[in-house]
Amino acid sequence: MRRAFVASGWMMSLLAATASGAAPVCAPGTAEMPSMFLPRSEPAEIILDITWLIIGICAVIFIVMEGLIVWAIIRYRKKRSESEGGEPPQVYGSNPVELAWTVIPLLIVFVLFLVSARGIFEIDKQEPPPGSLEVTVVGHRWWWEFDYGDLGFVTANELHIPLTKDGEPQSVYLMLESADVIHSFWVPQLAGKMDVVPGRINHLWLQPSRAGKYIGQCAEYCGNQHANMLITVYVHTEEEFARWVENQQKEAVEDAAVAEGRDLFMSTACINCHTIRGTVADGTFAPDLTHLMSRSVLGAGAAANTPDRLREWVWDPQNIKPGCDMPSMKLSREETDRICDYLETLK
């Protein structure tokens, strides 16, 4: 699947091999370094090919220019006597020299322009490719909403997608919108950056070539919790993905053992912002909690989703993520525990 530019030559192949050789070996569930030099999706591969070509051209220019400078320093480091050939001849107004240093850079810039333009057109798809999974991504201050449309569920901060089958054009097609300010969706191993702009829909497609966990981050400053806008992408095999979808489509678990916590939750203002499908909670300002326990982080990466951190979060989110929209509900410790007991059943 990985294509290489013929022009990129042996040097870039060597550098690419070195870069992929340096890839950390990861246990399942842990992510590789989120580096654009470890592409795991078609658009990211296209971008890396262009990057190597540009680095290669710049390296050749650097070596030639520095070589000439060093040569001139050594060759003319002291005044030469008449018997050594005297001063180097000075050249004024030479048409061939002027032409050379105008035309050569022009040609280089033109080649870079063509290669970049080709890459941009290849990556820019305004229509979803046939058979794509379509997901609407909404950037919020400061979390991500993933709406799976026809599949009938919404989740937050963790995007689950299927692996592209070999030789098939099927991909994941993202439609990016913002609920407030400009954000930028960036998962370096899967695709380039794409701005998420209020009032318009931008597009991005992914064609993941390896199952695993990939880390991304909002890449446009969007306020004081900009750094806590983590994106985690899980690329699953087809069967795994089908299982995940099946679970997400279910309504929230009803567990009589935590009825007290559920009733408490349903009697607070929590339900104005959060949805828990199958209950009266149907707010849309905040993350859907129907399957909260299928996620590994809270507050878009501000804390791990562990029982202790969940209690701290519900007690007062402002301690963990100052400035976020969720206020402390002024619950007692006892009430916080009951509500968290309930939330922990939402698998």
Tell me which residues touch ligand CUA (CB under 6 A).
139, 142, 183, 218, 220-222, 226, 229
CA distance linking residue 209 with residue 225, whole number of Å: 32
Q: Nearest-CA neighbor of 275 among 265, 286, 262? A: 286
Indicate the residue among 145 and 220 with the shorter CB distance to ligand CUA: 220
CB of 229 to ligand CUA, least distance (A): 4
Smallest distance, Å, CB 312 to ligand CUA? 23
The minimum distance between CB 178 and ligand CUA, in angstroms, equals: 9
Q: Is the dihedral of CA 73, 79, 84, 89 positive or negative?
A: positive
CB of 142 to ligand CUA, least distance (A): 6
For residue 99, the SS3 value is: helix
Taking the complex as a whole, the smallest distance from the CB of residue 174 to ligand CUA amounts, in Å, to 15
- Among left, alpha and beta (phi > 0; psi -120 to 50; other), residue 119 is alpha
**Closer of 119 and 139 to ligand CUA (Cβ):** 139
CA 299 to chain centre: 17
Task: Please identify, using beta-carbon distances, which residue of 222 and 286 lies nearer to ligand CUA.
Answer: 222
Give the Cβ contact number of residue 63 at 10 Å: 10
Closer CB to ligand CUA, 186 or 265, in the complex:
186
Instruction: Give the span between the Cα atoms of 241 and 247, in whole angstroms.
Output: 10
Query: Could you tell me if 53 and 61 are in contact, meaning their C-beta atoms sit under 8 angstroms apart?
Result: no
Q: Which residue, 139 or 317, has its beta carbon nearer to ligand CUA?
A: 139
